Amino acid sequence: MSTPTPRAPMLATAEALATLLSAASPIAGTESIPTLDALNRVLAANVTSPLDVPPMNTSSMDGYAIRTADLTVRDYSRLPVSQRIPAGHAPEPLKPGTAARIFTGATVPPGADAIVMQEQTEAADADVVILHSPEPGEWITAQGADIRSGSVILPAGTRLTPQALGLAASVGCAELVVRRRVKVAVFFTGDELTMPGEPLKPGAIYNSNRFTLRGLLEKLGCEVTDYGIVADRLDATRATLREAAGAHDLILTCGGVSVGEEDHVKPAVEAEGRLAMWQIAMKPGKPLAFGAVRRAARHGETSSAETFFIGLPGNPVSSFATFLLFVRPFILSLAGVQAVAPRALSLRADFTQSKADRRNEFLRARINPAGGLDLFPNQSSAVLTSTVWGDGLIDNPPNHAISAGETVRFIPFSELLN
Q: For the residues of 243-272, what is the DSSP string, one character each?
A: HHHHH-SEEEEES--SSSTT--HHHHHHHH
Distance CA 408, CA 344 (A): 10
Distance CA 17, CA 289 (A): 12
For each of the domains in the chain, give its residue range(s) and CATH number, in order of start: 13-28+181-334 (3.40.980.10), 30-51+149-179 (3.90.105.10), 58-141 (2.170.190.11), 345-416 (2.40.340.10)
pLDDT the model gives residue 198:
85
pLDDT, tens digit, 9 for 90 and up, residues 43-73: 999 999 999 999 999 999 999 999 999 987 6
Residue 90 CB neighbour total at 10 angstroms: 9
Confidence bin at 264 (pLDDT 50/70/90): confident
What average pLDDT score do residues 100-104 get?
98
Average pLDDT, the chain: 92
Nearest residue to 180 via CA among 45, 300, 29, 34: 29
pLDDT the model gives residue 168:
98
% residues pLDDT > 90 (the chain): 79
pLDDT the model gives residue 1:
46
What average pLDDT score do residues 153-174 get?
97
The more confidently predicted of residues 264 and 41 is: 41
Amino acid at 392: G
Nearest residue to 248 via CA among 230, 216, 277, 222: 222
What average pLDDT score do residues 174-196 get?
91
pLDDT the model gives residue 7:
62
pLDDT, tens digit, 9 for 90 and up, residues 198-227: 888 888 888 889 999 999 999 999 999 999
